[in-house]
Amino acid sequence: MSDDVKVGIVGAAGRMGQMLVRQVTETPGCKVAGATEGSGSPHLGKDAGAVAGLGDLGVAIVEDPAAMIANVDVVIDFTVPAATAEHARLAAQAEAALIAGTTGLNAEQEESITRAARHVPVVRASNFSVGITLLLALTEKAASILGPDYDIEILEMHHRHKVDAPSGTAISLGQAAAAGRGVDLARVRQAVRDGHTGPRPRGQIGFATLRGGDVAGDHTVIFAGDGERIELGHKASSRQVFAAGAVRAALWTRGKAAGLYNMNHVLGFAD
């Protein structure tokens, strides 16, 4: 009898899903115990290991998330917003921990994750890399030191398949900058500029989005003052960093109380 943490991967045939199947398989102390895909996926019924390029693991990709989640200790979810909201509900019901990486959720879908966290440990992050976790802290600090004489602009680039914009990570960086200034991002956010925009309002936090190729994720936070400019940046060259962080978070949930956690908690940066 192994006491490996049993991990269920929803969306196991996706770009992140396949990466997660490989990462869990290669990480001591955990194993892939279940896998799902959305209805209509051509990968239903196939072995999750084979789809991820590993060879058979003896774990078929199934369609019913409830049955799969009932059988695992922790669910890792990098899928689509509506599915993530439903998976959060099912994880809470089955008392499985949840690692939620999907971005682009609306307020109601995000609330479904918050509700689940009343019953089980949930780690929620728009970016599971160690580097971005550090960049969030540096951005908040820089914004608090520099103040509103420095205009904040957040630039991001991702691969051509990404469906939400600005990226969840860019929004988290905006929230960190806003927190550093003691303001609410929703009140100062400028997500798009086009046409005759007039001059830049003081205190605004702007976003610019680039899409193309196979870029795993580039983010730059620019603090533009009079006579100088500070740029804090991060470039992910492989999705593996997100998968490694998510699996680290999955192992960390073992024995934890119900609650909404982020990567600061997992990495020991938070109290």
The residue ranges that bind ligand NAD (CB under 6 A) are 10-11, 13-17, 36-38, 41, 78-80, 83, 101-104, 125-128, 168, 239, 242
Nearer to ligand NAD, 25 or 84 (CB): 84
CA distance 142 to 94: 42
- Confirm if 126 and 154 have CB atoms less than 8 A apart: no
Could you give the dihedral angle defined by the CA atoms of residues 159, 15, 110 and 164, in that order, rounded to the nearest 10 degrees?
A: 20
Closest approach of ligand NAD to the CB of residue 161, in Å: 6
Count of CB atoms within 10 A of residue 256's CB? 15
Closest approach of ligand NAD to the CB of residue 197, in Å: 28
Q: Which single residue is written with the structure tokens 């936070």?
A: 221
Nearer to ligand NAD, 208 or 263 (CB): 263
Per the annotation, the verdict on 196 as an active-site residue is: no
Q: Which single residue is written with the structure tokens 């990466």?
A: 19
User: What SS3 class is residue 23?
Assistant: helix
Closest approach of ligand NAD to the CB of residue 79, in Å: 4
Q: Report the residue closest to ligand NAD, judged by CB.
A: 14
Exactly one of 158, 219, 234, 265 is catalytic; name it. Answer: 158
Nearer to ligand NAD, 219 or 239 (CB): 239
Nearer to ligand NAD, 105 or 146 (CB): 105
Nearest to 92 by CA among 109, 69, 76: 69
What residues act catalytically?
158, 162
